[in-house]
Amino acid sequence: MKLRTLLAVGATAVLALTACGGSDSGGSSTPNAAPTDKVLHLSFLQDPGQPPDPDVYYAGQGLLLTTNTYEGLLQYKGGTEKPELEPLLATEWTASPDNRVFTFKLRQGVTFHDGTPFTSAAVKASFDRRTAVNQGPAYMVADVESVTTQGDYDVTVTLKAPNSAFLDYLACPYGPRMLSPEGLAKNAGGDHAQAYLTSHDLGTGPYTLTAAEVGSRYQLTAYPGYWGPKPYFEKVEMPVITDVSAQQLQFNNGQLAAILHDLPSSAVQSYLDNKAFANYSLPTMMSNFVYVNPKKGMMTDVKNRTAVMQAIDVDELVKQTYFGRGEKAEQIYPSNMMAAEYGKQSVTHDASVLSGIAAGLPADQKSITIGYDSSNPDNQLISNLIQTQLAAAGLTAKVQAYPTSEIYGWIGGDGQAAPELLAYLGWPDAPSPYTWGHISWDPDGGLNLLGCSAPPITDALAKGLPTGSVDDFSTAGEEAVKTGCWLNLANVNDFMVAQPWLKGMEQAHVVTNPNSLRLAALSVG
């Protein structure tokens, strides 16, 4: 799983950076022609890795599938810099003053892809199914006490305890999606239809899943009975191209309409300099962190952890890694989550503090490992740069790649199998500060990769949850900084490149949904 939180503010125009300059990325100076067959060709750099089942899927690449085939009660607006709730399958909603009882008026005239009508019965069936499947995103409905229907198009959800993040759960990309109750019953098998949903879908979205060949290709086809505006593209082809150079070559030759994720820094620079293609640096809630292991070697001492943080020249890291698609982080929370004055991260760059400590360390504690996810080339570069910076302060560091599965295997362990430092790109499941803070910093958090926590963090998060108090969440962040376990390096944009004929990229992008687009908003122009 990849866990990725509020204050929704008014929509702001997203800035799109149009490419200019030479042709370093190998593209022709003549734009590739737009397709006439209404087929959109995209790609995955790695297989999504999990079935495109909305109650199972909990990773990064693959949101393109789940968010275009399924819909929830609410969603976040496209084309904004900050998260802003809007209706989807619910047209109106209210929350009780204590954030415990939520009422929804449902959209009429909607059908599932199996042809059955969407009614209030689907809300209870979908919540129940998420609980029964009990995968990563199940926590979003774990506190639901009851779902009560009032006719076909009104429903009330009552929680066991107040939760200011609940509406964010409903709207976020990993939130509860509505599935056909009849389809679930018909294909239930012994696993609540999990086998069926590896290669089919039971959603209401603008596209239906028509191919899911793991490791090879995925295909979406426009659903003719969709309740909203009909998509321009009738089919979307998404092969899995595991070599980034091969992916770029296909794009440069016009075989792909766009590349939506995982372009390394060198490729970003080349496309910024190439006017044959359009490029977009779009706001997200992604941030690049350094995690510090408090259970190993010199890092068991908070003074040492803090000194290591101070020795990292963040300005230099951001300049060399995220030029054109990111900026230095000033808050401990991921980007676009809280107003600038909250959750401040005050770590002054001063390598001399670590130099003084390193001089007095025993030899076996002067050697550390800096880890990164093997699927993230940016964090390989960041790890190498940190290695050089720490060497100048007296530490010997080696850089090592770890597969994602191994990184998540460290959760709940004794920390000895993990490196002393981990460079990690993360984003919140939902844009409530509680979501990120709880998952990352609480002892039982699903993204607390290296097992660091402190009672003042947990207390502040719990205090803020019922009302959504930004002051409490800010306190939790400040206490997290004091542990020396986390440093937010950079707020990272989605850098995407597209053929110049592909229109609607900004409007199709959602700040809460990384590496993805709302495909129905795209067209040719």
Q: Of the candidates 153, 188, 223, which is a domain's last residue?
A: 188
Asked whether the predicted pLDDT for residue 179 surpasses 80, the reply is yes
pLDDT at 424: 96
Asked if residue 321 and residue 460 are part of one domain, the reply reads yes
DSSP-derived letter for residue 174 is: T
Q: Where are the beta strands (DSSP E) in 356-515?
A: 367-373, 396-402, 421-426, 486-498, 502-503
343-390 pLDDT, tens digit each: 999 899 999 999 999 999 999 999 999 999 987 889 999 999 999 999
Residue 469 in domain? yes
Confidence tier at 41 by pLDDT (50, 70, 90) = very high
**Cβ atoms of 288 and 331 closer than 8 Å:** no
20 vs 8: CA distance, rounded Å:
34
Average pLDDT of span 280-288: 96
Asked whether the predicted pLDDT for residue 6 surpasses 50, the reply is no
Q: What are phi and psi of 316, to 5 degrees?
A: -70, -40
Residue 361 in domain? yes
457-499 pLDDT, tens digit each: 999 999 999 999 999 999 999 999 999 999 999 999 999 999 9
Confidence tier at 89 by pLDDT (50, 70, 90) = very high
Residue 509 in domain? no
446 vs 456: CA distance, rounded Å:
19
* Helical axes 433-441 vs 455-464, angle rounded to 10°: 150
Average pLDDT of span 290-318: 97
409-441 pLDDT, tens digit each: 999 999 999 999 999 999 999 999 999 999 999
DSSP assignments along 12-67, one per residue: -PPP-----S--TT---SSPPPPPSS-EEE--BSS---S-S-TTT--SSTTHHHHH
Residue 352 in domain? yes
Confidence tier at 266 by pLDDT (50, 70, 90) = confident
Give SS3 for 444: coil
Asked whether the predicted pLDDT for residue 24 surpasses 70, the reply is no
Q: Of the candidates 140, 169, 188, which is a domain's last residue?
A: 188
- The three-state DSSP-derived secondary structure of 288-304 is EEEEECCCCHHHHCHHH
Asked whether the predicted pLDDT for residue 27 surpasses 50, the reply is no
Residue 64 in domain? no
Domain that holds residue 346: 287-492
Residue 153 in domain? yes
Q: How many helices (DSSP H) and strands (DSSP E) are in the chain?
A: 15, 19
CATH number at residue 465: 3.10.105.10
Residue 265 in domain? no
Asked if residue 337 and residue 476 are part of one domain, the reply reads yes
Asked if residue 316 and residue 172 are part of one domain, the reply reads no
Residue 518 in domain? no
**pTM (whole model) above 0.85:** yes
Q: Whose structure tokens read 């209706």? A: 87
CATH number at residue 135: 3.90.76.10
Asked if residue 468 and residue 346 are part of one domain, the reply reads yes
22 vs 27: CA distance, rounded Å:
9
Token duo for residue 100: 């415990």
Token duo for residue 229: 């505006």
283 vs 301: CA distance, rounded Å:
36
Asked whether the predicted pLDDT for residue 4 surpasses 90, the reply is no
Q: How many domains does the chain have?
A: 2
Asked whether the predicted pLDDT for residue 330 surpasses 70, the reply is yes
Residue type, 420: E
108 vs 93: CA distance, rounded Å:
15
pLDDT at 346: 87
109-142 pLDDT, tens digit each: 999 999 999 999 999 999 999 999 999 899 999 9
Q: What are phi and psi of 384, to 5 degrees?
A: -65, -40
Token duo for residue 25: 């990325």
Q: Of the candidates 155, 188, 221, which is a domain's last residue?
A: 188
Q: What is the CA radius of gyration of the chain?
A: 23
